[in-house]
Chains A and B, each alone.
Chain A
Amino acid sequence: MSGRNGTTTFIMQRASAVLLLPLVAWFVWSVAAHAGDDLAGARLWAGKPMNTILLGAFVTVGAFHMRIGMMEVIEDYIHGGLNSILNALNWLVAIAVAGATWWALLSLPA
């Protein structure tokens, strides 16, 4: 897998890293500012369009970036049949994390 797509993966990992720089700064600041919010407060915050978009973007780009990172870890240490199973699981986790977050954000009561 990496033997055929190494350069693309290298570039994608750095491009997603650059996108994550402002998103991480925004995320940490927001979470600290809203620590202790109750359900209504947290929903009010997450439901604001700009926050919904930024939170969704953070999780989506984060899932993309973490899948590549974990794939590199798996390829470094685990070979053989288990490698394919773990890479498939890795894909599933990344898609589930992004999909579940978007589902939750878009299902928030207006």
Chain B
Amino acid sequence: MSAASGSATPRPNTPPLSPHLQIWGWTVTMAASITHRATGIALYAGTVLLAIWAVALGLGDAAFGPVAALFASPLGVLVLGGYAWALFFHLMNGVKHLYQDTGRGLRYETAKGTAWFIYAASLTLAAITIFAGLSARGGAA
């Protein structure tokens, strides 16, 4: 009777794919979710940078000089500033997830406000950190 069920192909033995981004309208909560993943991936790279710095520290001047110079360059300051922002965003958004895991804070208006707050607060803290770092370093900013 049902031709559709008769011709159904067997399910592939693979986990389901995530929904494609293009089919959703943009919301700040969705942006925060994507940013959480993006900053997580960026922090993966940041941790590798930290390990490189630590190894250079262990090896001595020949390795530490170039690494320190790279981190002190304008590109280095941009990367480290981005690292600081990614840490703040991922940390605060992570705390939001821990809170939401308890079933609270999920009303849409609340969740929207939280997401906007995390963007603003993480950017502010990153700006303060960059300023503090440049001040501690002294010399040309």
Binding site for B on A (CB under 8 A): 2-3, 14, 17-18, 20-21, 24, 27-28, 31-36, 38-39, 42-43, 46, 55, 59, 62-63, 66, 69-70, 73, 75-77, 79-80, 93, 96-98, 100-101, 103-105, 107-108
Contact = CB atoms under 8 A, between A and B. Distances in A.
Most chain B CB within 10 A, of A2, A31, A69, is at: A31
Nearest to B71: A35
B57 A108 contact: yes
A46 B57 contact: yes
Contacts of B138: 36
B111 interface: no
Most chain A CB within 10 A, of B51, B60, B101, B129, is at: B51
Nearest to B12: A79
B136 A33 contact: yes
A107 B72 CA distance: 25
Given A66-B40, A66-B43, A20 B91 contact: yes
Interface in B65-124: 65, 68, 72, 80, 84, 87-88, 91, 94-95, 98, 101
Given A69-B40, A108-B58, 14 more contacts: A2-B15, A14-B101, A32-B129, A32-B132, A36-B138, A36-B139, A55-B54, A59-B47, A66-B40, A73-B41, A77-B18, A79-B15, A96-B51, A100-B55
Contacts of B129: 28, 32
B115 to A, nearest CB: 18
A47 to B, nearest CB: 9
Contacts of A28: 84, 87-88, 129
Q: Sorted from nearest, which 5 A-B pairs have the closest CB atoms?
A: A36-B137, A104-B58, A35-B133, A104-B54, A32-B133
